Amino acid sequence: MLYLPVGNYATTPYYLEELGVSLHTIEELCYYLRENTASLEEGIMRPALCSFVEKELGLKDLGRALMDVISGKGSLASFVKLIFEECGYVSREELRTIESMLRENEAVGMAGRRKNSGDYHLFAGRYTLAQREYMLALKGSDPMRDPELYSMCMHNLGCAQAGLFMYEDAAKCFKKAWDHGGRTESYSCYLAALRMGGSRERYAALVRELGLDRTRVAELEERISESSDMSRQSEEYSVLKEALDDLEAGREEDFDRRAEAILASWKKDYRRNVE
């Protein structure tokens, strides 16, 4: 999508301390607001930002409108909506989603906001950022007072860690999520993380040692078997098999070409996951 610049390029940037970035344009502001919607706080609504928008960016009407929101003790959702509407950085549908998320955040505490932020990054495949947000959410949540929130944060932290191949840590999180929430999904993920984190022999020993549910263990093994069958039908599996066939047949150049393509794909997925 092509964005037409709005306003001036600031000679003196504005430092947005909540996000740790220096801003030179209204588009940069929009970008960081969109990427961090789930964790935004009212603290960004400062007269200094309004002055920056009005004087440095040359957007006088917007700067004054933002100041009016602050003066009238308006909401963060209204403040952010004005900024996005000024330069059309997001579609109307996405703006409605952002506004809805901000209004929803008004009704939850800091732990809930961090959890929402973690969910945003988790679904986008940014597992390192998701892990950080869930850890911050857990610091502000009480498993006794709000076991549901604690359980959801712990479960999703396990999902993020599994995405980073941290299976041992993920298993601990899923177990805690199960202990406090009792959801079948958490227990299934707990078994899966144990299974992925070690050899079959070690997993079998854990099943006996921990007295794990044998029925669910059997269901997990069946799902793993089905996934393996499906992976064998995937394009990537076919390319990998062809590469190994090339190597066995002495076609080293063909092997190198196929292997390089597979590694490039894996590297791309890895970089996306740890952004």
**pLDDT, tens digit, for every residue of 238-247?**
665 676 566 6
- 74 Cβ partners below 8 Å, 6+ apart? 68
d(CA 118, CA 173) in angstroms, rounded, equals: 15
Place of tokens 């933002």: 66
- Could you tell me the CA-to-CA distances from 253 to 243, 246, 257, 258, 262 in Å, in that order? 10, 8, 6, 9, 14
Task: Say what the pLDDT of residue 228 is.
Answer: 46
Q: Could you give the residue ranges of the DSSP H alpha helices within the chain?
A: 26-35, 47-51, 60-71, 76-87, 92-105, 110-123, 127-139, 147-163, 167-181, 184-196, 200-210, 214-232, 235-248, 252-273
SS3 23: strand
- pLDDT tens, position by position, 19-36: 789 999 999 999 999 988
- Give percent of the chain above pLDDT 70: 76
Q: pLDDT per residue over 109-161, tens digit each?
A: 778 888 888 888 888 888 998 999 999 999 978 888 889 999 999 999 999 99
Query: Which tens digit of pLDDT belongs to each residue from 195-232?
Result: 777 656 776 776 677 776 777 667 766 665 555 444 44
More confident residue, 234 or 27: 27
Q: What are 102's two structure tokens?
A: 């901000």
Backbone angles phi, psi at 35, to 5 degrees: -70, -20
**For residue 87, what pLDDT is reported?**
85
Q: Does pLDDT of 270 surpass 80?
A: no
Question: Which residues are 21's β-sheet partners?
Answer: 16
Q: For residue 218, what are the contacts with CB-CB under 8 A and spacing of at least 6?
A: none
| Helix/strand/coil for 22 | strand
Among candidate residues 225, 147, 219, the one with its CA nearest the CA of residue 187: 219
Give the Å distances, CA to CA, from 139 to 143, 162, 201, 224, 274.
Answer: 10, 20, 36, 34, 22
Read off the pLDDT of residues 163-177 as tens digits, 9 standing for 90 and up: 998 988 999 999 999
Q: What is the pTM of this model?
A: 0.57
Across all residues in the chain, what is the average pLDDT? Answer: 82
